[in-house]
Amino acid sequence: MVEETIARRYSEWKMRCPTHLCTGQEAVAAAVGQVLKKDDFVLSTHRAHGHYLSKGGNLSGMIAEIYGKETGCSRGKGGSMHLIDLDVNFMGSTAIVGGTIPLGVGLGLSIKLKKTDQISCVFFGDAAVEEGVFYESVNFAVLKKLPVLFICENNFYSVYSPLKVRQPEGREIYKLAQAIGCQSEQGDGNNVLEMYNKVSSAVNSMRNGGGPYFFEFKTYRWREHCGHNYDNDLGYRTQEEYNFWKERDPVSIFETFLIKESVITKNEINKIEINIQNELDLAFKFAEDSDFPKDDEAFKDIYAK
């Protein structure tokens, strides 16, 4: 609902930063977020909204950030692709493909040195495994038995490029990590319960010194790579493929399961949706009512290496 509201309101021209929406692949963030604790670390990619919110990030702060306001979680300087919230140990997201993977490993090393039971979780896409830093990072995490949870959201595309033009035919991404010595599994990225159970088991092991774990979850984004529109007219993916994945909407699948198992009723789901929409309306009003950062704030809290 957050992503679709952003998409609907983006054309108002009040949100001017590039925005990568995760509609269709929300289940990965939701399932992993339920396993992690507040003091666990999380790092993300350019498509970070779901990861940020699932870690307990502030919705109003996120929307204000997309509006470029001083009340945003990154004080209006980062926009959609650069979210950070130290209150919930969401350590940042970036537009650089693979850029947060070594940071996640570094946080894992800090956990081991401090001897806490935390987890460092880093989300990335299928294209990130084509970066050299991926191999170096996984190798180091395995060597030092670091509590790093690598979550690869394989949505089959890097912008408009499918896997077949980027990686050898028949390759399974999770086996790359496996070959480096990392415990590794593949799963259905649209099945909330399957992912929750797999990740829960892995994280329990990691908190007890079991070392790093890698998951490849196959899922699919509905909207364009960057922006609020649909882009099936561009020809890089077929309408048939899109329809197949849309019918596997993880939200609808989980709702149907919960109703069938008498866990929740349709009426209760409707009430949840009303509450979420009310929260969204307040978040957007907060963003619109907030001020833009002052000029003298431009170079504060800016770091370069």
Tokens of 213: 């774990």
Q: What is the mean pLDDT of residues 294-304?
A: 85
Over 70: is that where the pLDDT of 305 sits? no
**Contact status, residue 160 vs residue 234, Cβ threshold 8 Å:** yes
pLDDT in tens, 183-220: 999 999 999 999 999 999 999 999 999 999 999 999 99
| Per-residue model confidence (pLDDT) at position 19 | 97
* Superfamily of domain 2-287 in the CATH hierarchy: Thiamin diphosphate (ThDP)-binding fold, Pyr/PP domains (3.40.50.970)
pTM for the full predicted model: 0.96
Share of the chain above pLDDT 90, in %: 97
Residue 152 phi, psi (nearest 5): -95, 115
Mean pLDDT of 267-275: 98
What whole-number distance in Å separates Cα of residue 110 and Cα of residue 127? 27
Residue type for position 305: K
Do 52 and 30 form a contact (C-beta atoms < 8 A)?
A: no
Sequence ranges of the domains in the chain: 2-287
pLDDT tens figures, 116-141: 999 999 999 999 999 999 999 999 99
pLDDT tier for residue 302 given thresholds of 50, 70 and 90: confident
Q: 187 to each of 22, 120, 253, how far by Cα in Å?
A: 18, 20, 16
Amino acid type, 260: K
With vertex at residue 49, the alpha carbon angle to CA 122 and CA 75, rounded to the nearest 5 degrees, is 100
**Tens of pLDDT, residues 154-192:** 999 999 999 999 999 999 999 999 999 999 999 999 999
Are 11 and 228 a contacting pair, CB within 8 Å?
yes
